[in-house]
Structure 1
Amino acid sequence: MSFATVPDLVLEPMIRNALMEDLGSYGDITTRTVIAADTLYEAAINAREEAVVSGMQVAAIAFRLVDPSLEIAIQIPDGQCCQKGDTLMTIKGSAASILSGERVALNFAGRLTGIATMTAAFVAETKGTKTRVTCTRKTTPGLRLVEKLAVLHGGGFNHRFSLSDAIMIKDNHIAAAGGIRQVLEATNATASHMVAVEIEVDRLDQLAEVLDVGGASVVLLDNMDNAMLGEAVKLVAGRMKTEASGNVKLDRIASIASTGVDYISSGALTHSAPTIDLGLDFDEV
């Protein structure tokens, strides 16, 4: 599958910040000391293991911010599978520039490829069902946009990007407001018709009350076992979207999907994905 890219301009600030952190106050003193300024190299980002690729757009931006004259060619784009030993990107030009951008480019690419790969494994477990796998806001501070893009590259879907995207009523909101009826009545009275409303429940009697009051378009079924999830889906009967969440691990995805829920959300996609081993290899021009 091919993916439309977010404009580089949107992604540049976070990548620039990462480069500034790595380059420090005086730049790459090792490279400046030992590499002649006119040294040219062609480098390649190679996969050390099988994966679903993400972060190539980000890595390319990192190298271009260091040196716009670098010639960059993405060989395996974001969202595509790679095998061990595959070349994902080639970079040609100043050796000093390539070395100065290497770590930031690989940090992003390895992290994001890990998220895409883990997401793809979750999605594979839903095959043959209507259930979609979605991420959460449990992302690395400052990296939410690119981590959520990586979820898309793995075949998943995105939940809220921020607190302002939708009304999502959690258990603590319900407790502080005085109950399910109170929060939904307040929402029905004041929320814009353009804003989606989701409410969390962890018992079937709470779900019944949500259905009675009305006003929500999605119900989050929190920490329910599969039997209760199945009952909840029957009770909803298509009147709103259903989302299973809580203690969602790879070995449970298929059984959760079999209950008929519309979505399975998992914070693990972004907070627990292992980094994929990618390396930068040099060939002298």
Structure 2
Amino acid sequence: MPERLLNKRELQEQIRYWLKEDLGPLGDISSSATIPQGHRSKGIIHAKQDGILAGIPVAREVFAVVNTELQFTAQKHDGDVLKKGDIIAIIEGDTRSVLEGERLALNQLQRLSGIATKTRAYADAIEGLPAKLADTRKTTPGHRMLEKYAVRVGGGSNHRYGLFDAVMIKDNHIKGSGGIREAIRSAREIIPHTMKIEVETETLVQVREAVEAGADIIMLDNMALDTMREAVAYIRSSARPALIEASGGVSLETIRNIAETGVDIVSVGGLTSSVSTIDISLDLNEKKAVSR
């Protein structure tokens, strides 16, 4: 699993921020008012519907930040198929601490599993074809690292991480610079030779201009299938064929037809921007209270 994609220090900082947002200046008043100090419990995290699991490293870190003495034991791993009723993880220790981390851990597990589940469905739809499935920058602010991680867990690949790691010349860049050729020429003068340039195209005229100007990647945006096939054939026949990406309006029903046109990549913003969470819950299985 791509757990190495998670920056642990950044993750811990985000978790502390999210916990501060939830606990505020007074902490978990409900638990403090009702749970005796020193009480210990076993928290059982379980699935209430089918899906693909993602977020175990995040949930583990949440409880570790809340209380380093909590014991988190995963029963399932990221990428596993979940069935309703499956036990995902067990947390043992101070009851108040378990309840402090409960909501944050569940929120992350539910959303990340939702992303992984949707991604797996799209990946399965183009199984057997050479095209790769990719995400986009349409992520929740502050959650990009985790959401792109969940895409990888689900079987997809990641597009550029942000505005800094690749040049993507879109319609507004083309308008602002005076055209595709001028935009590419200007970018080449500034970027290092190791950086790629991608151009978003909407017509065959733009495709030809992007090829002639030497784009490394050409995006076919919202093109009809017949137009897309013609664009793919033209790019493939050029002296320096670019990678070809299809994007825009891709659905579970259309992705295979799009991939069959011969594109290299199909990017889907909806993998992260419009997701149904997976229902996951935590229930306490009481242990004997410990006096202090």
TM range (shorter): over 0.9
The amino acid of 2:211's aligned partner reads L
What SS is found at the alignment partner of 2:107? helix
Aligned partners of 2:84 and 2:28: how far apart in 1?
Answer: 30
Partner of 2:35: 35
Task: Provide closer, same or farther for how the CA distance between residues 192 and 110 of structure 1 changes in structure 2, counting only shifts above 3 A.
Answer: same
The amino acid of 1:52's aligned partner reads I
Contact map agreement 1:134 1:264 (CA 8 A) in 2: yes
Partner of 1:247: 249
Partner of 1:156: 156
The amino acid of 1:218's aligned partner reads I
The gaps in structure 2 that reach 5 residues or longer are 288-292
Aligned partners of 1:129 and 1:185: how far apart in 2?
Answer: 34
Percentage of pairs with the same residue: 41
Deviations 1:167-221 (A, max 9, x none): 110010000101111111112333210211111100011111111121x211111
TM-score where L is the length of structure 2: 0.94
What SS is found at the alignment partner of 2:182? helix
What SS is found at the alignment partner of 1:30? helix
| Alignment of structure 1 residues 4-83 onto 2, 5 Å | 4-5=3-4, 6-83=6-83
Contact map agreement 1:138 1:270 (CA 8 A) in 2: yes
| Alignment of structure 1 residues 215-230 onto 2, 5 Å | 216-230=215-229
The amino acid of 2:234's aligned partner reads L
The amino acid of 1:65's aligned partner reads V
| Alignment of structure 1 residues 1-285 onto 2, 5 Å | 2-5=1-4, 6-214=6-214, 216-237=215-236, 239-285=241-287
The amino acid of 1:119's aligned partner reads T
Aligned partners of 2:280 and 2:274: how far apart in 1?
Answer: 18
Deviation above 3 Å: which 4+ runs of structure 1?
A: 2-5
Aligned partners of 1:278 and 1:247: how far apart in 2?
Answer: 30
The amino acid of 1:38's aligned partner reads G
What SS is found at the alignment partner of 1:250? coil
Contact map agreement 2:43 2:285 (CA 8 A) in 1: yes
Contact map agreement 1:3 1:78 (CA 8 A) in 2: no
Deviations 1:65-87 (A, max 9, x none): 11110000111111221111111
Contact map agreement 1:167 1:196 (CA 8 A) in 2: yes
Aligned partners of 1:146 and 1:187: how far apart in 2?
Answer: 30
TM-score where L is the length of structure 1: 0.97
Aligned partners of 1:24 and 1:229: how far apart in 2?
Answer: 53
The amino acid of 1:223's aligned partner reads N
Q: How many positions carry a matched residue from both structures?
A: 283
Shift of 1:232: 1.1
RMSD after superposition: 1.1
Partner of 2:290: none
The amino acid of 2:227's aligned partner reads M
Aligned partners of 1:129 and 1:229: how far apart in 2?
Answer: 16
The amino acid of 1:180's aligned partner reads I
